[in-house]
Amino acid sequence: MLELAILGLLQESPMHGYELRKELTAKLGAIRAAISYGSLYPTLRRLQAAGWIAEAAETPATAEEVPALTSRRGRVVYKITAEGKERFAQLIAQAGPETYDDTGFGVHFAFFARTDQATRLRILEGRRRKIEERREGLRDVLGRAAERLDAYTLELQRHGLEACEREVRWLEELIANERSGRAPTVPQPGTAGGRREDTSPPPPGESRKERP
């Protein structure tokens, strides 16, 4: 999951670890607290070893002097490689079971702007199915095993059930939107068109006109 997220972010621009963590936190803030450095740095290492990312020269301009005064332990900027982009495309398109759990779905969703419509639909429907299953499980417990559980546990289940129902409704809306061809949900207010300055091939959805 972290791998996918890093690859996705580095496609927008090169970054060093600290920055990456901040962007990750901003982008995934809705689904997970904050990436730990204990995960981030080892993963960066792994991705570099695999050839999916590479170190970029730090500040190629105006880097004349500044010698190895204090042995230079500055920031390390990474950029994605061509192989990395392929890897990302592969990871984003293939859906395993982990694609539908809370974290996995969130990460995939966060990169829907780089995902083709068919895949988006597949993922949304898979997620819906999974949540529906969880919902049924909760209903079962609340129905059949209610008297075996104390009031607090019951209340927890009830709250969880409500969250499931709510998410299913949300997903339904997204799916309907997706099928109708329009990109994201677009609530009410006139959301100004965002600036898109990707340094990569034309991202799929996202813009207004899309060919089915």
Residues that bind its own copies (CB under 8 A): 26-27, 29-31, 33, 101, 106, 109-113, 134, 137-138, 141, 145-161, 163, 166, 170, 174, 183-187, 191-192, 194-196, 206, 208-209
Q: Does 19 bind DNA (CB under 7 A)?
A: yes
Query: What does the buried/exposed string (b/e) look like for 197-206 if buried means 16 or more CB atoms within 10 Å of the residue's CB?
Result: eeeeeebbbb
In angstroms, give the least distance from the CB of 26 to DNA: 12
Instruction: Name the nearest CA neighbour of 10 among 62, 74, 76.
Output: 76
String marking each residue 86-125 x if it binds DNA according to CB under 7 A: ----------xxx--x------------------------
127: Cβ–Cβ under 8 A, 6 or more apart, which residues? 100, 105, 171
24 binds, among DNA, its own copies, none (CB under 5 to 8 A by kind): none
- Secondary structure (DSSP) of 90-115: HHHH---GGGGSHHHHHHHHHTGGGS
Q: Are 84 and 10 in contact (CB under 8 A)?
A: yes
Binding site for DNA (CB under 7 A): 1-3, 16-19, 32-33, 35-39, 41-46, 70, 73-77, 96-98, 101
